[in-house]
Structure 1
Amino acid sequence: MDLDLRLVRYFVAVADELHFGRAAAKLYISQPALSKQIRRLEEQVGAQLLVRDTRHVTLTARGQQFLAEARRLLAIARTMQQPARANTVRMAHVFELDTSREVADAYAARFPDVALTEHALDSATQLEALLQYRLDVAILRITPRMLVEHPAGWEHRLLRLEPLVLVGGDADGKSGPGTASLHDGPLDVFGDPPESGSYNAHGDFLSAAERDLGLELRWLGTPGAFSHCLARVTRSAGRNRFLEFHSYASRYAEHGFALRWPREAQPYYPWSLAWRSEPPTSALAEFLRVARAESAGQGWLHPAPAAAGPPWLPPDDPVRREDGFAGGR
């Protein structure tokens, strides 16, 4: 019997949600109908893919293997239906952080005739869009979970180690005005905590810093645009201290807020290039070359000259195994 791609799509939706009701709503079908279709799929493949009871849905070992195969199969089907356009590059930005924008600016300046289509997506959504052929390239933070859930079908390379610095607060008088301690009271962070339901790659990074560096973090949610973040920082009247991307911190400094480098450790947020494991179009190949050249020209993989503390990355961060990352805690 031929494998029904519609049933494969249903299975992936259930595997993503681990909940038949949510998956059914996502697919616009009834829950009993979805359960029936999943049983049909299991009959076709000759193995149980899901374990379900009244409260939980989990993948069997065969289901986990089938999920990886199913994602690749659906990706192939999509690309057969929508072949890549040779003179187009589709990419995305994470909010208003400047890494992807600077790469896009450099590429557009060098290849003005290529159609560069840009979107705003967080890291996990970028990877999903990449594997679903809705993006050609991603600039994102890679997490261990991404590698477990998507073990094949894509390549990645470290592009930038962006420092996080301290914004606001009063000088502590213990050293020069350019540095401050990570441990002089709580640090405000623009991120969604694990229990929020919108926890993402950024939140995962902050949680690792909280645990490994012993930080006291106050999670403020994710306002999105820089203007909203600036309004929150302004309302603090300089009393609160924020742990922020250097991309944003330098803009806060333009509004009169102090920018200081952490003394005990220097957190670096790793941005990576990601693309599918297939021959790239000429436009995409040039984009990857421009991005790497931009990284080398701006010294994005070297420690920040003003950094005071030793470099830090989460202990389990995948980029620790890459050639572009040298040392650190």
Structure 2
Amino acid sequence: MDVSPRLLHYFVAVAEELHFGRAATRLHVSQPSLSQQIRKLEQSLGTALFIRSSRRVQLTAAGRTLALEAPVALSALARALELTRLVGSGTETTVRLGYTPVSSFETLSTLLNALQADHPTFTFIPTEAFSAEIPELLNNGELDLGLALSPPHREGVGSEVLREEPVSALFSAHHRLAAAPIIPLRLLQEETLLLFPRQLAPAYYDDIVAACQEAGFPPDIRAFDKPPVSAWLARLSSGHEVGLAPSAFAEHAARAGTEIVRRDVVEPSIMAKLSLTWASNDPSPAMASVLASARQCAERNGWLRSNSQ
């Protein structure tokens, strides 16, 4: 079936005017040419669309159906073409943003507010995912942008550090260390660290292990298998284990719950690195603009140590 948008435009004009002469004038074509195009449409569809007589033009049942559906189809086509043009020019698009749970408070909200302010016609859809999952989701086309904690390298995925911050300790307000103003890392030698499994953020996990070894002890780690972060925090607030998390997340968590406290970790400090990730095969102006806005957001907020010193 060969039905072009132009034929549908011609049909709609005749259907609205119910007069070939007036429709031809409206379309700026000759009446014989318009009649020929309508016959071509009817032949393509295999049905008559109009009842023609010397006195008037009427729609057939099939014509009445097409008169209802054709404007919808033409409008959808126009919208699709315009959206494609806007996306190509970087002025309108939908951005699916995957974020690691430990970025889900201050970092994520600050970044989203900045991106939305810079791109008011964009739609940003945040989706929670663990850091190790985000590069794969980008490669599969399920995400457009990621905010991951030391994400693993993956071919086809671009990555750059967006925020560097110290790691803080989180534990119950009744923990034996609750009165300490800061936590030298060696004080955790006798503690059980409650961490998410290594495969969810391998580089971050390894940084914690390396820092503990630098402080003189192999850490006692208990894995907390992939429930919501709220369940991890509840476990910390009611137990004797210690959690380690980027300071912005840890500060929010401590403010949100009266039974959990946050303390700075020192000697040595552990740095958490939140990275912006994206599919490197996406050359669109829209994505380039979003990445530029994210970098400006990091600079304004002093998220990178090199920019804040």
The TM-score normalised by the length of structure 2 is 0.58
SS in 2 for 1:259: strand
2: CA distance, partners of 1:159 / 1:299 = 10
Match of 2:135 among 103, 108, 127: 127
The answer on whether the counterparts of 1:193 and 1:221 sit within 8 Å (CA) in structure 2 is no
Match of 1:92 among 98, 101, 105: 98
Unaligned runs of 5+ in 2: 1-83, 88-92
The answer on whether the counterparts of 2:182 and 2:265 sit within 8 Å (CA) in structure 1 is yes
**What do residues 33-91 of structure 1 show as CA deviations (whole Å, max 9, x unaligned)?**
xxxxxxxxxxxxxxxxxxxxxxxxxxxxxxxxxxxxxxxxxxxxxxxxxx998212121
Deviation at 1:226, TM superposition (A): 3.5
Counterpart amino acid of residue 230 in structure 2: S
Alignment of 1:269-308 (within 5 A): 269-278=272-281, 280-302=283-305
- Aligned pair in 2 of structure 1 residues 212, 158: CA closer, same or farther (>3 Å)? same
- Aligned pair in 2 of structure 1 residues 85, 106: CA closer, same or farther (>3 Å)? same
SS in 1 for 2:132: helix
| Match of residue 63 from structure 2 | none
- Aligned pair in 2 of structure 1 residues 265, 325: CA closer, same or farther (>3 Å)? farther
Match of 1:106 among 114, 127, 145: 114
Structural RMSD (CA): 3.2
Match of 2:211 among 193, 209, 212: 209
Match of 1:186 among 188, 191, 212: 191
The answer on whether the counterparts of 2:185 and 2:212 sit within 8 Å (CA) in structure 1 is no
Counterpart amino acid of residue 220 in structure 2: L
1: CA distance, partners of 2:194 / 2:147 = 22
2: CA distance, partners of 1:159 / 1:241 = 26
The answer on whether the counterparts of 1:166 and 1:259 sit within 8 Å (CA) in structure 2 is yes
Query: How many residues were matched structurally?
Result: 211
Alignment of 1:243-322 (within 5 A): 243-254=244-255, 255-256=257-258, 257-278=260-281, 280-302=283-305
| Match of residue 148 from structure 2 | 140
- Aligned pair in 2 of structure 1 residues 85, 272: CA closer, same or farther (>3 Å)? farther
The answer on whether the counterparts of 1:167 and 1:241 sit within 8 Å (CA) in structure 2 is yes
2: CA distance, partners of 1:279 / 1:240 = 43
- Aligned pair in 2 of structure 1 residues 251, 291: CA closer, same or farther (>3 Å)? same
1:235 aligns with 2:238: yes
SS in 2 for 1:300: coil
The answer on whether the counterparts of 1:89 and 1:283 sit within 8 Å (CA) in structure 2 is no
- Aligned pair in 2 of structure 1 residues 133, 250: CA closer, same or farther (>3 Å)? same
The answer on whether the counterparts of 2:149 and 2:274 sit within 8 Å (CA) in structure 1 is yes
Counterpart amino acid of residue 293 in structure 1: Q
The answer on whether the counterparts of 2:100 and 2:149 sit within 8 Å (CA) in structure 1 is no
2: CA distance, partners of 1:132 / 1:266 = 36
**What do residues 269-328 of structure 1 show as CA deviations (whole Å, max 9, x unaligned)?**
1111122334532322221122111111111112xxxxxxxxxxxxxxxxxxxx8899xx
Unaligned runs of 5+ in 1: 1-82, 303-322
> Which of the pair has more CA radius of gyration?
2
- Aligned pair in 2 of structure 1 residues 199, 245: CA closer, same or farther (>3 Å)? closer
Deviation at 1:160, TM superposition (A): 0.8
Counterpart amino acid of residue 132 in structure 1: N
Deviation at 1:207, TM superposition (A): 3.5
| Match of residue 116 from structure 1 | 124
